[in-house]
Amino acid sequence: MFRYAVAIQPSDIDHMGHVNNSVYLKWVQDAVVDYWRSVAPPDAVASHLWVALKHEISYRKPTFLQDKVVAEVIAEKVEGARAHFTTVVRRGHEVLSEVKSTWCCLDANSLRPSRLAREVAARFLPPQN
pLDDT digits (tens, 9 = 90+) for 85-121: 999 999 999 999 999 999 999 999 999 999 988 888 8
Structural domains of the chain in order of their starting residue, each with its CATH number? 2-124 (3.10.129.10)
**Which residues touch 89 (CB under 8 Å, ≥6 apart)?**
6, 24, 27, 63, 69, 70, 71, 72, 95, 96, 97, 98, 99
- pTM here is 0.90
Q: Which pLDDT score is estimated for 128?
A: 57
pLDDT digits (tens, 9 = 90+) for 116-126: 888 888 887 76
Q: Which pLDDT score is estimated for 107?
A: 96
Nearest to 35 by CA among 78, 91, 67, 97: 78
